[in-house]
Amino acid sequence: MLKSEQPLLLSATVRIEDGENPVPKVNVREICPLKQASQQKTSRVHFYLPADDLSQELLERLRAILRRHKGKCVAFLLIRLPDAGPEIVLKLPDRVSYSEKVETEVDSLFQARVTEYS
């Protein structure tokens, strides 16, 4: 795992030992590739869509993308109304996978960054 050049997430505690020259000691409990940790911890995906740009065709294409990428994340559409008005929030019936492919396909469909995982 350490040879892969991928970013890692460490779960650790740091303790500073007393003495003339205090030395920090790191006790690592768990090491996990950051990408894997993100996939395990992510439970929601939000799609921020401007109401002005929505059409039935775009929504149908979005539905097709999401159906191809079923997973564990609860999905929400947040439709932004014109003039910085309130948002309409819709919880989608199907869950979506956490993947760069979903993000790339949806953002490409709307020609903007509209996907956010949490």
- Domain edges within the chain: 8-39, 42-117
Query: How far, in Å, CA of 80 to CA of 3, rounded?
Result: 44
CB-based burial label for 62 (10 Å; 0-12, 13-18, 19+): buried
Do residues 72 and 43 touch, judged by C-beta distance below 8 A?
Answer: yes
For 81, list phi and psi in degrees, rounded to 5.
Answer: -80, 155
pTM: 0.69
67-117 tens-digit pLDDT: 999 999 999 999 988 877 678 899 999 999 988 899 999 999 999 999 998
78: number of Cβ within 10 Å: 14
